[in-house]
Amino acid sequence: MTPTPMTKGTLLTTTGARVEVRNLTKRFGGFTAVDDLSFNVEPGRITGFLGPNGAGKTTSLRMLLGLISQTSGTATIDGQTYHDIDQPLKVVGSALEATNFHPGRSGRDHLRVLAATIGAPDSRVDELLELTGIPAAARKRAGGYSMGMRQRLGLAAGLLGDPRLLVLDEPANGLDPEGIRWLRGFLRHLASEGRTVLISSHLLQEVEQTVDDVVIIANGRLVKEGTVGELRGSATSLVRTTDADSLIGALRVADVPANLQEDGGIVAETDDLRLVGDVALRAGVPIHELRPLAADLEQLFFSLTEGTNRNLGAGESAAPVMADAIEGREGANG
């Protein structure tokens, strides 16, 4: 059967694919890289798959994409494993490495070779070079690309089949601040079309303004799952005054819980600054500072994942090396 040609123009509006990971486990000999991991990734949303280096993120993504086999558990895309999907590149696009290309081949030729395998025309290649912002470098050898340009080339390759699910491993690596801003807007556009976007990172701060949902793992295990809003917790405000006791009492009368901090500041459990100001005015209490108190998500991330990382600890120095070697063999065979 001849593959259906890709539609010309911008990316297509589509229905995203739902990812379900259930009790996923991967062992390399006596080393457990992923340990009974379960989470969902929903269509039309950007999910950040987060954890420190060595947490098992890349291993999990490789199992999802059928590059290595799991020891137990399942990882499915709309209820199917990757290997069971008909024309998988039209359902799933991925970029796990920014070096997966022939260094002597131009960026455009690299994409043309990939496009031919799914019946996509050269016009689709040129369209994606424009969308990812590298048309001027398209005829240069990919081996001379900067890390940021390689990331864009990998993103273009992942989108060739106009996929419903996009999986990206550390996509912001090598991008300058302008490139990160561009990536954020581009991924948001893809999600707005209904696509499912799953991106891994070892830095929450890097993806905090990009993702809708977060899945945080450490040592191959789930430690936190939910929306960014849930991770931030309740909205609060910081207020400073010379009469803390009076203001705290007045806030509590107004049904606003408030507590005095060690540094003398008051944390009020509301983000309604006008309400806090009105309460202070009625109470005749002067205010020296009043501002929303944003949750320090990066600090929260570190607190959730702190402790010895068994995948990187001194006592386990041989384990990651063994895992990488086994993964490389399985990926070549898969």
Amino acid letter, residue 310 = R
Read off the pLDDT of residues 230-241 as tens digits, 9 standing for 90 and up.
887 778 999 999
Q: What percent of the chain has pLDDT over 90?
A: 59
125's CB contacts (< 8 A; 6+ apart) are 108, 111, 112, 115, 156, 160
> For position 139, what pLDDT does the model report?
86
Q: Which of 13-27, 140-154, 209-223, 315-329 has the lowest mean pLDDT?
A: 315-329
Please list, in sequence order, all residues whose beta carbon lies within 8 angstroms of the beta carbon of residue 301, skipping any fewer than 6 positions away. 50, 204, 216
| pLDDT the model gives residue 168 | 95
What single-letter amino acid sits at 196? T
**DSSP per-residue codes, 155-171:** HHHHTTT--SEEEEEST
Q: 234-293: which CATH architecture? A: 2-Layer Sandwich (3.30)
Phi/psi at 14 (5° precision): -150, 170
User: Please, which residues have CB within 8 angstroms of residue 321's CB and are 6 or more apart in sequence?
Assistant: none
Instruction: Answer yes or no: is pLDDT of 212 > 50.
Output: yes
Measured CA to CA, the distance from residue 253 to residue 153 in angstroms comes to: 59
Contact (CB, 8 A) for 67 and 332:
no
What whole-number distance in Å separates Cα of residue 274 and Cα of residue 204? 31
Q: How far is Cα 301 from Cα 206, in angstroms, rounded to an integer?
A: 12
What is the fold of 19-231+298-333? Rossmann fold (3.40.50)
Tally of CB atoms within 10 A around 47: 24
For 301, phi and psi rounded to 5 degrees?
-60, -45
Looking at 10-24, 179-193, 261-275, which range is the least confident one?
Answer: 10-24
SS3 273: helix
330 pLDDT more than 90: no
**What is the reported pLDDT for 194?**
94
Residue 205: pLDDT band by 50, 70, 90 thresholds? confident
- Neighbour-count burial of 180, counting CB atoms closer than 10 A to its CB (0-12 exposed, 13-18 middle, 19+ buried): middle
pLDDT for 322 equals: 43
Burial of 151 (0-12, 13-18, 19+ CB in 10 A): buried
Which tens digits make up the pLDDT trace of 144-187?
A: 888 888 889 999 999 999 999 999 999 988 888 888 999 999 99
At 98 the pLDDT is: 66
For 315, counting Cβ atoms within 10 Å of its Cβ (0-12 exposed, 13-18 middle, 19+ buried), the class is exposed
Average pLDDT over residues 261-274: 93
pLDDT at 321 over 90: no
* Domain ranges for the chain: 19-231+298-333, 234-293
Query: In terms of C-beta density within 10 A (0-12 exposed, 13-18 middle, 19 or more buried), how is residue 84 classed?
Result: exposed
